[in-house]
A = this chain, B = another copy of it.
Amino acid sequence: MQAKLRIKDIAEQLGVSTATVSRALNDKPGVSDDLRQQVRKLAADLDFAPSMVARSLAGARTGAVAFILHRQAFPVSSDPFYFLIMQGVERELDRAGYHIVMSTVGNQPEDNNLRVVRERRVDGLILAGPDINPSLVLSLSRSGLPLVLVDNALERTPLNCVLCEDCEGARSAVEHLLGHGYKQISFVGGPTSWLSTRERQKGYECAMRDAGLPGTVVHEKVTTMEAGLAAGRQLFAGKDRPRAVYAVNDAMAMGVIRAAREAGLAVPADVAVAGFDDVSIAASTDPPLTTVRVNKEIMGELAARRLLELIGDEQQPHCRIIVETTLIIRQSCGCVGSGEEVESGK
């Protein structure tokens, strides 16, 4: 058990004051180059780093950021979507010497006050996912703590957020389905309270409208494979079943494929399917899934970078950051591939 070193110990060993050591370590002016080098060398040799707790109290910067996730977002997908975003956040924060404090919220009344905020543990917040109560988002944004949303945005209040090309990505996928000659294409989505569902549906509707075709839409309460299965059963039960289905994400697309099989329909011969996200197994499903790739790590990195900017300068205008998507063409849409995937320009 190493004794915990303090700046004072370093100062005494060098016969200087603590103020000097602090200045040297923090790259602040007011120390001769020679002395600065000495201090740094000793600190490095002793493997010393200043106590972040004391720094925070004296400074007013905790050097930490909260990553807030809704509890429902944990098991929502077979793919660690928000985990990958979090990885991006962590990577970027680490570069800046920051740390990430993870926390979750539910829908209980007591969740309307984040402990991590009340205890003033962090310099800023990243709120991930569309499940977080808008009233919580609003109250947090008014609290003065810098805040960035990921995969979410408020409808009427501009806030800093990071999104992907939900509308454009979905549109390109639906246009690809239309390119196959399919006329009857249905959309399967999650709750309309989710921005991603609304935007992707908008992309679907734009594509259909431009093609002069009517559309049909099914909404489920969640976007799991099971929900996709249920939606697919509904779609394939009636007489005029769709020739293709566009699902709001890959998990639902996989559920739709299962429903098609249940109904004795071949995919893509009888029913074509496409999704969104490009989760890791999308390339390995049967048939491999045509989908829209979104780079989750980049979304996380951008959110972290934006938050650090806000922490450095509170008074900045809100901005939306939209990350590019890429249509990934595999076989579920009806393309007869060599088995290799194709990145399509949109």
Which residues in B have their C-beta under 8 angstroms from that of A49?
115, 118-119
Complex alpha-carbon distance, A316 and B91, angstroms: 35
Complex alpha-carbon distance, A83 and B83, angstroms: 7
Q: Does A79 contact B (CB under 8 A)?
A: yes
A280 with B75: CB separation less than 8 A: yes
A101 with B225: CB separation less than 8 A: no
Complex alpha-carbon distance, A328 and B142, angstroms: 49
Given A2-B143, A83-B74, A102-B90 in contact, is the A119-B51 Cβ separation under 8 Å?
A: yes
Q: Quick one: which of A53, A63, A120 has the most chain B CB within 10 A?
A: A53
Complex alpha-carbon distance, A113 and B254, angstroms: 43
Q: Does A38 contact B (CB under 8 A)?
A: no
A104 with B94: CB separation less than 8 A: yes
Which residues in B have their C-beta under 8 angstroms from that of A51?
57, 119-120
Q: Does A25 contact B (CB under 8 A)?
A: no
Which residues in B have their C-beta under 8 angstroms from that of A281?
78, 225, 254, 281
A116 with B103: CB separation less than 8 A: no
| Copies of the chain in the assembly | 2
**Total count of chain A residues near the partner, CB < 8 A:** 54
Which residues in B have their C-beta under 8 angstroms from that of A103?
90, 94, 99-100
Given A47-B113, A78-B280, A143-B1 in contact, is the A52-B99 Cβ separation under 8 Å?
A: no
Given A1-B144, A284-B258 in contact, is the A53-B113 Cβ separation under 8 Å?
A: no
Complex alpha-carbon distance, A84 and B77, angstroms: 12
Nearest Cβ on chain B to A142's Cβ, whole angstroms: 8
- Give A48-64 interface residues, CB cut-off 8 Å to B: 48-54, 56-57, 62-64
Residue-wise interface mask of A (68-84) relative to B, using a CB-CB cutoff of 8 A (1 in contact, 0 not)? 00000011001110011
Which residues in B have their C-beta under 8 angstroms from that of A144?
1-2
Choose one: B48, B56, B280; the contact of A53 (CB below 8 Å): B56
Q: Does A286 contact B (CB under 8 A)?
A: yes
B90 with A104: CB separation less than 8 A: yes
Q: Does A4 contact B (CB under 8 A)?
A: yes
- Give A236-286 interface residues, CB cut-off 8 Å to B: 254, 258, 279-281, 284, 286
Complex alpha-carbon distance, A230 and B199, angstroms: 39
19 example contacts (A-B, Cβ-Cβ < 8 A) are as follows A49-B115, A49-B118, A50-B119, A51-B119, A52-B119, A52-B121, A53-B53, A57-B57, A74-B83, A74-B87, A79-B80, A86-B102, A90-B104, A94-B103, A99-B101, A99-B121, A100-B102, A254-B284, A281-B281
Nearest 5 Cβ contacts at the A-B interface: A1-B144, A80-B80, A52-B119, A49-B118, A53-B56
